[in-house]
Structure 1
């Protein structure tokens, strides 16, 4: 194991206990797993954000009988106290906050040393490492789950090239995940991280949101709700049209760069904000990334353009002074601002995301021998069950179809 400070375990337990209060669905699934043991004897290697909510998820998998090795999917999002507390869960934890790239990948290799039957990934780095550097383990891996948009993009490309060697469930693509986690979770936590890092007033500021997928839509909605003027940049004509019809101004980044006070990238792609865009930005512009990897903002170009860099002018805020005196503020080193400068999604959000993933792991454990390599959607009944459980935990009741209504939906013989 490799954790930052084992003495922080008690503080980590308190943080996990607090998250548990807002995760009733995952608590119920954990109790169900404890009774049925659907993961008995399985070895799971996971590359996830090491947060209190992840600890609750790992606890549910342990209750199901799994043996787990865990690495961090982002070194800046690791909560060292939670990593220390997870040792008491009998989980092999390889994660410390702020490690360099080499240590990050060493931790992934250490997690893979368990010889996994199933892998859980958050960005596809673990799966990529398996397919490029740990190929000797591939024959033993019978399935996996991926939780992020960025990871799914990479996995679908692997599948298209027939490079993917086992079935992977696209947990990110469930309706509940896209709606609750991507839209509401990313929207709130991204602005939370930005405000914590800068203490800036959002009302009256021009916010440029790069990407209008479910995550970008959530960020745009929350910024608009705070009184910001929101500009959206997009490459997808349908999403751009959607943003326009929702009342947002839609511009190319080359034009938006001159107008924005705050820039938030949420695309899953690289070089969304490049040197030519940085050259047009006004003094004091803030740069934040809410996509999974630290490639959406060209940090190297920013470093090359800067004559002076003031690191840590505020926590998680670095100031780059350009030759003409303009100052650009980069948050979280261009990494995930919501998990670096804040605590990520609220526990109530992750309750649904991790519940869907826990049920998907159990489904995969049962079905993996019948699945060919490829990317699979989460079964619709799992998505619906998570939503029903969440509604029940919130005390919300909904209607049910009558027998006549159900018959009407099943038949084509009824006319107008």
Structure 2
């Protein structure tokens, strides 16, 4: 029986979930190799929500204190629930959805989060400018898989983990189809507003120190402070929930760009009936990024094939309305690290171990996908109970319960039961 440290693990993609997996493996004494297509680490996007489940994992990995050092009140989680208001003038409060202390979250700049994670990696195991174009799928327990890169180089690995995002060009290895990505009927205008800039313009922003979702008809605006409170993270959504995903009236071609830099005028026009204070803050975004949010749709039948596994957005990219997409990738990466470093996981049984990963992670992440889509509808006034105060309260209440039900260690115990029943582990 080979030792866990003998497993050769290749992680394709150097984003949050791939690096989390690598960090978790490092803590277990395994140095996975990361292959990143770009010339350096760097997440795209603005703020990211690190939810309760991810914070459990960050604490286990020794990263929790570094995260909390970046919050407006250092040492404290800066998302302790959300306030819901109407987006119209006066931003009438609908209700507050407080969280228990074990449900608190952290809002942080993506790049800052990535920098914190990378500090826990040995740089010699990261390989930049390595775009993976194919992986041979090992079946029936051959010795390894081969990853092929666009520069003609190849590497052999016992396990290949595909963590290269929603645009993952290798998803077809698992699914057999060219693309399982589709436009999620959501456009998001994103940007960061420096508090210093709002002060120069005489804009009052203290009301928005509390994480808030401002709801409008088929729109929502999420605002909360990051970077020690010096910056307001803005995510302004325009939605088309009246259509099914993939409907020809709203579908976008796979080759269409997912990111555009647009004018401030376009953003203000989309939210012209919103509160004047919010519009003043939006006016500080000179050139907002316009994101066409793609999702994995329909749900995949499997995240694994042979010695190759999907994780993160490559497996289950979702709309961001539960602030759980990154968290689901972090949960994927953490469980994979626990399984691949387990003393009873070997090169001979690793395919069965990956099947157990799929059996546990796929149902949970796809349920969170469904809940995120439902939350998006409710936050855009399109929930089943209608665009009224009582309707929104009814549709939003409890929507976080499932995603917050995660308990560190439970999934590993589920896998242990499965593998012992199959006599893979003893």
Structure 1 and Structure 2 fold alike (TM over 0.5): no
Higher relative contact order, chain-length normalized (CA < 8 Å, sep 6+): 2
TM range (shorter): 0.3 to 0.5
Specify which structure has the higher proportion of helix: 1
Specify which structure has the higher proportion of strand: 2
